[in-house]
A and B are shown apart, each in its own frame.
Chain A
Amino acid sequence: MKSRYETAKNVFVDSVDLQDYIELDSSVRAYEQLEHSINKPLKMILLFGRPGTGKSILLNRLQNKLKHQREIHYFDTPAMNEKEFFHKIFKILTKKSLPQNTEVNFSALVNYCKDLRGKREIVIILDEAQMYSVELMEKIRLLSDSRTVKFIVSLHKTEDEDLVAKEHFQSRIWEVIELKNATLNDQMAYIHKKLLKHNLFELANSIKEKDMRLIHKFTKGNFRECNKMMFTIFEICEYYDKNEPGKINYDKIPKRVIEMAALKLGYIHV
């Protein structure tokens, strides 16, 4: 029989799966702000935050919800090179594939976009945009100036990437949305809702507020870290459940297990 800890462990496998999307106060606010920004006559929107703050899943959800209402495209992984990127853009704009052994003429593409102004409004979401080169970002900016293609650029918030953001977007991006790490209450709601979504009511109940505080302290409210932490906690519990049941308390998650998980993940060190 599958251990309930095994089921719980799998709930926290880190993925950008819309089925796993948890509505929290902070994410609802960010989503509404993003949706509202798209409706504005803006050229570019910058969504940024530290890794694991839920940017990708938010963009995914946005695309999924709006795909039947407007032309919206989601580039989840950055193109390997400019050629590949413009190939994708060409396909979106013309709805045709680029003939083999040909390249997109960028000036012609910009002109094509200008011709489409007022006829079509295309939203392109660029996730992990910190991986695009400076030159490519400049070309993206030129495309957005045509006002036919609106870009939502998602960036990791690190010091270097802040510089990129400043250099390339400061004067052009009209709307900036920042995602922050979850508060204790948000993280508590996140963990509980995730478990409840998979009918793991007893397990959700077994994580007390002081455990949540400890988890929040270790993960600093980062969703990705939280997923890793919860996965490790339940994996340790699963081991005890199967091999040494005397060491596990089914009514609560022992503090020892949380600390062991933190040691394993390097949040604390001996």
Chain B
Amino acid sequence: MYNIKALEEEWRRYKRKQRRPLLITTILVLAIALAGGVGYYQNFKLETLIDYIGKYTSGYSSKEENRSLVFKPYLDQPKETPLKHPKEELTVDNPLVVQPVLERVEKKPKKKLHIEVIDSNGAAAYKEVAKRFRLGHDPDDSLFLAKYFYAKRNYKKAEYWALQTNKINDNIEESWLIFAKAKAKRGYRNEAKRILKAYIKKTNSTEAKVLLDKIQKGRRF
């Protein structure tokens, strides 16, 4: 019988030797990849630095814009204004909350892309519409969300999105009606009546009158 232990040890050495070329190749490949990566990163940093210095010393130019690969998206993109829920800021005298609307005079051409999203039932689709609204401030988007949340009986969100619609365009009757109905559903019936009265005073809307009547008489709407 052989000395198996010695043979096992010899076999281990053989395997180590057998694996050595593979190990060396792997290390080499990794080293080359790492060197490549470091080189690319350094080049990338240098380019950004040149770009940065160029922008802050000689200002923007169309040429520089083309050259910069890194800062362009961030510098060119307008900062997104956080939209806050105004909550109880509404008054009887000023139910339309026109001030924010006036600040946003510039309106972009309406996009009807949300129609495609309406067909989708996924929650992700609504998030996508909300995201799109924050970028485009399209009242169709916010009205769509207001209707959606109202139908889902999420009245707080419905109220929020109706208000966002009103801020951009205060002539959308449906948005006002949802806003008033959501307020009423949440228990703020007096506020809902106040809003409707102010709206009726301004537009003499029959729909608003009917809704006001229902709220006053405690009927279902």
Q: Is the CB of A270 within 8 A of B7?
A: no
B17 contacts partner chain A, Cβ-Cβ < 8 Å: yes
Contacts of B11 in A (CB 8 A): 256, 259-260, 263
State the CA gap A264–B10 with chains docked (Å).
Answer: 9
Q: Is the CB of A270 within 8 A of B10?
A: yes
Contacts of B1 in A (CB 8 A): 235, 239
Q: Is the CB of A263 within 8 A of B7?
A: yes
A136 contacts partner chain B, Cβ-Cβ < 8 Å: no
B11 nearest CB across to chain A (Å): 5
Size of the A side of the interface (Cβ < 8 Å), in residues, is 13
Contact pick for B2, options A256, A264, A269, A270, CB 8 Å:
A264
Residue of A nearest to B13 (CB): A270
| Per-position 1/0 for A232-270, Cβ under 8 A of B | 000110011001000000000000100110011000111
Residue of A nearest to B2 (CB): A264
B188 contacts partner chain A, Cβ-Cβ < 8 Å: no
Q: Is the CB of A270 within 8 A of B4?
A: no
Q: Is the CB of B4 within 8 A of A236?
A: yes
Contacts of A260 in B (CB 8 A): 7-8, 10-11
State the CA gap A259–B10 with chains docked (Å).
Answer: 10
B14 contacts partner chain A, Cβ-Cβ < 8 Å: yes
State the CA gap A259–B14 with chains docked (Å).
Answer: 9
Contact pick for B7, options A236, A243, A268, A269, CB 8 Å:
A236
User: Which one of A239, A240, A260 has the greatest number of beta carbons of chain B within 10 Å?
Assistant: A260
Interface residues in A14-65 (C-beta closer than 8 Å to B): none
A267 nearest CB across to chain B (Å): 11
Contacts of A256 in B (CB 8 A): 11
B72 nearest CB across to chain A (Å): 57
Contacts of A269 in B (CB 8 A): 14
B166 nearest CB across to chain A (Å): 76
State the CA gap A260–B10 with chains docked (Å).
Answer: 8
Q: Is the CB of A236 within 8 A of B2?
A: yes
Q: Is the CB of A235 within 8 A of B2?
A: yes
Contacts of B17 in A (CB 8 A): 270
Interface residues in B10-56 (C-beta closer than 8 Å to A): 10-11, 13-15, 17
Contacts of B4 in A (CB 8 A): 236, 239-240, 243
User: Which one of B2, B11, B13 has the greatest number of beta carbons of chain A within 10 Å?
Assistant: B11
Contacts of A264 in B (CB 8 A): 2, 7
Interface residues in B85-140 (C-beta closer than 8 Å to A): none
Contacts of B7 in A (CB 8 A): 236, 260, 263-264
B24 nearest CB across to chain A (Å): 17
Residue of A nearest to B17 (CB): A270
State the CA gap A164–B143 with chains docked (Å).
Answer: 105
Contacts of A239 in B (CB 8 A): 1-2, 4
User: Which one of A236, A256, A264, A270 has the greatest number of beta carbons of chain B within 10 Å?
Assistant: A270
Contacts of A270 in B (CB 8 A): 10, 13-14, 17
Contacts of A240 in B (CB 8 A): 4
B19 nearest CB across to chain A (Å): 13
Residue of B nearest to A236 (CB): B4
A188 nearest CB across to chain B (Å): 24
Q: Is the CB of A263 within 8 A of B14?
A: yes
State the CA gap A243–B7 with chains docked (Å).
Answer: 15
B195 nearest CB across to chain A (Å): 81
Q: Is the CB of A263 within 8 A of B2?
A: no
A154 nearest CB across to chain B (Å): 33
* Given A235-B1, A240-B4, A259-B15, 4 new contacts (CB under 8 A): A236-B2, A236-B7, A260-B7, A263-B10
Residues of B within 8 A of A (CB): 1-2, 4, 7-8, 10-11, 13-15, 17
9 A-B pairs with the lowest CB-CB distances in the bound complex, closest first? A270-B13, A270-B14, A260-B11, A239-B4, A260-B7, A263-B10, A270-B10, A259-B11, A263-B11
* 20 interchain pairs, CB-CB under 8 A: A235-B2, A236-B2, A236-B7, A239-B1, A239-B2, A239-B4, A240-B4, A243-B4, A256-B11, A259-B14, A260-B7, A260-B10, A263-B10, A263-B11, A263-B14, A264-B2, A268-B14, A269-B14, A270-B10, A270-B17
